[in-house]
Amino acid sequence: MASVTSATVAIPSFTGLKSTISKPSAVVRIPTKAATSPKLTVKSSLKDFGVAAVAAAASFALVGNAMAIDVLLGSGDGALAFVPNEFTIAKGEKIVFKNNAGFPHNVVFDEDEIPSGVDASKISMDEQDLLNAAGETYEVALTEPGTYSFYCAPHQGAGMVGKVTVN
């Protein structure tokens, strides 16, 4: 016959849960022909549950913040362009347009090239509003699936245009 010495096993985790062997005897004898394993129990308190709930909520908040795409207004070499100028996002995902180079810039959605029923004025900057300094941003979340064309009003003639597809 084999013998196993009893011990408490601590399982490290963010929840603080501990697993212990339920039978606290010093020696457990296990017959060689029919091996049985000791029963494990999980001990937790309401406080441990609260810690787990807070950790889960924090991870969801981080995931929510990660659901954004940054689009530069003006390329690193000074070209008048959106970088990237074509991209795809999920419905409701935030787009952060960030002034980079060659400003002033703005973001205007073309009312003739957006899904029907979407009001271009509600998702666009006013054509007179401009981002005048590096790092200034304009944020928008598009909720209707489809293809949206946008442009920078001061530089549209220079080819500063873009397209986003919302799934």
Q: Which residues are designated catalytic?
A: 105, 152, 155, 160
Q: 3-state class of 82 per DSSP?
A: strand
Report d(CA 24, CA 47) in Å as an integer.
Answer: 26
Report d(CA 131, CA 71) in Å as an integer.
Answer: 14
Which has the closest alpha carbon to 111: 126, 121, 101, 99? 121
Report d(CA 75, CA 140) in Å as an integer.
Answer: 20
Question: Does an H or E element contain 51, and which?
Answer: helix 46-66
Whether the CB-CB separation of 2 and 32 falls below 8 Å is answered with: yes
